[in-house]
Every structure is written in C-alpha cells, then in structure tokens.
Amino acid sequence: MYLQCNEVHTRRLKHENALPPGPPKKTSCSLCLCGEIPPCSLYLSVASLRYRSTLADFSHAVQNATCMKIFDLRAGQSAQSEGVFSRRYLPDSNIINRVAAILAEVRQRRDNALIEFAQRFDRATLQPGELPVTQEEIERANAQLDPAFAEALLAAHANIRECASVGKRTGWRERNAQGAIVGEHFDPLRRIGIYVPAGTAPLVSTAVMTASLAKVAGVPEIVVTTPVGPTKTINSSLLAALHLAGATEIYKVGGAQGIAALAFGTETIRLVYKIFGPGNAYVTEAKRQVFGYVAVDLMPGPSEILIIADESAEPRWIAADLLAQAEHGRDSVIGFIALAEPLIERV
C-alpha cells in the first residue's frame, strides 16, 4: 500500500495489504474527523480500458443508490470527462476585485475592518477583544469532546507527528576536497499563520495536518484564523484539535480578511512570515494577492482525490477516503478508477 500523508493523497491498494475482517483501522489520512459529512458533490468512476464488458449491467443500480456519475472511457466519453478533470486555477475578475477591496480595508482599518467583515459575511457580532480565543474557551471545548472522538483525534495526531518526524530535514556539515567546511542548517520559521476553513464544516483534518507539522518543525508561534458564525464560537472538536496540534494563537477571523490579517497584521493579530492552509476561492485569491508581502505555501484549489484500485482492494478503505475529500465542499471532485467493474458497486 502506498500512502502519501497530505490533504490530497493517493492510495494504491494491493492484495497483501487488504484489511483483515472487522472494522477498518483509523490512520492519519483515511478519515476526516469533522464528523459532518454532507452529500458528496460527485463520485467519478471510470472503467479501465483493459476490461471489455459493458457497464450497463450495474450502472443503473449504482446511480440509483448513490450520487455517482460513471464515465466509460471505452464508450467515447473521454471529452466529457476531461471537463470534470480540468482543475486549473483561473481567477475570476469579480473575485479579484472584491478580494483586493477586502485586503485594502484590512490594511488600512485593521481590527475595525475585521469586525465589520465578520458581521457582513459571517453574521458574527464581535468586539476586538473577542477576536482571540481564550484559554477558558479551549478548556470548555476539551471538556465537551466525545470520548470516542477524542481517542480518534489523539491517534490521528500521533500518526501525523510520527510521519512528519521521519521526513523532517536535518542539518549536516563536512569538509570538501579543498578542505572548506560545507553543509546545510535548517531553522524553523519563527511565526507562521494557518487558515482553517469552517464554513461548510469544521475541518478538523486541516487543523491536525497543518499545525501538527509546524509543531514538529519547531515553529514557536503557530497562529490560526478560522471563521465563526452568529454564536461567535468555534466548533468544539475543531478548537480541541487546534489546541492538541500546537496552535499558540487562535483568532475568530475567516475569509480573505483572515488572510489579510495574517499578512499585514492588525492591532490584535501580529503579522506572520508565511501562510499555510486551504480555503475557498476568496481565500485562495487573497493568498495570491498577498504573496510578496508574506510567503505562502501554495494556491490550493477545491479538494480532490483520485483512487485507482483493482479487485483486491478493500471497499471500506476506498469509501472512507472518498468521503474524507467529498465533505470539503460541493466543488470537490472525487475520482475513483476501478480496474474491476464489480468494485464500483461494492464501493
């Protein structure tokens, strides 16, 4: 089994790694931990070219049972599927202009702009003093955790830390042929920002798969922004996960204004050196526009996954990985290429 430990991961399942009987094991990447899985926007199953029988036998039953769309590349549907697979980020002019205005407002009016945007976009009536999450709120969130969820969260955190620790770069030095000392030394960034989406669902997986890595790298100041709604509270599971993962500061700020606060700073939120984390089109465009003022990780588009599996694969593992990405939003593309036709129905 090949497992890449990041938000968009690829898994190749082989017979020798199939799950034993019983419930599937939890891993750091196999399940999103938010506990809220809305109907997926798309399951994409493509039959392999090396199989010649038709999909007619089971496609009707599968489509009636799930929100699945099946493309049979053997039937000349490749042009139709190409549109689904096209994931290039092309900024919309309207979004560009709206984000630019938000960034300018936060840069000029700072906390006052954050408060105004929280009311306008998230219907959250906040005062500047309410932007930071308090220790009391964190303790209350930890106390509200379901024991089973807490156990799963601890297991996921441990798995991610272990994976990150193995891949952590270490310095070295030696003398070259001329006798000079050469080498590399890796210092963690002093202060980084992480954006954690919470509009569609509180993405606990994003919390543990970003803040945990920063903690392993030795970053001393890990700053998180995430949106809140009218209740002015962060989901308890998400807040507990952020605390466990090592966040040192958490602020109730979402959207492009959250990115602006991290990049430019306000009276309450000090600026950071680099911004990490996914988000919607406005967040992605904000990251694009602040690049240069601050470093950014990348321009992540809508969440996606493509799993390729044959008849030896465990359907429960495939379904878990598909759902873990499908929950991220309606614009997520969830791909499943079956090398054995009956596997589609089983998944």
CATH architecture of 94-167+186-296: 3-Layer(aba) Sandwich (3.40)
Show Cβ contacts of residue 186 under 8 Å, excluding neighbours closer than 6 positions.
169, 170, 171
Paired sense of beta strands 249-251 and 221-225, if any: parallel
Report pLDDT digits (tens) over 276-319. Answer: 998 888 999 999 999 999 999 988 766 778 899 998 999 999 98
Report pLDDT digits (tens) over 17-65. Answer: 333 334 333 333 333 333 332 322 222 333 322 223 333 333 343 344 4
Report pLDDT digits (tens) over 146-189. Answer: 999 999 999 999 999 999 999 899 999 999 999 999 999 999 99
Helix or strand run (H / E) with residue 260 = helix 255-264
Report pLDDT digits (tens) over 224-266. Answer: 999 999 999 999 999 999 999 999 999 999 999 999 999 999 9
Most confident of 85-94, 129-138, 163-172: 129-138
For the chain, where do the domains classified as CATH 3.40.50.1980 start and end? 94-167+186-296
- 230: exposed, middle or buried (Cβ count in 10 Å: 0-12, 13-18, 19+): exposed
Question: Given a cut of 90, is residue 322 above it in pLDDT?
Answer: no
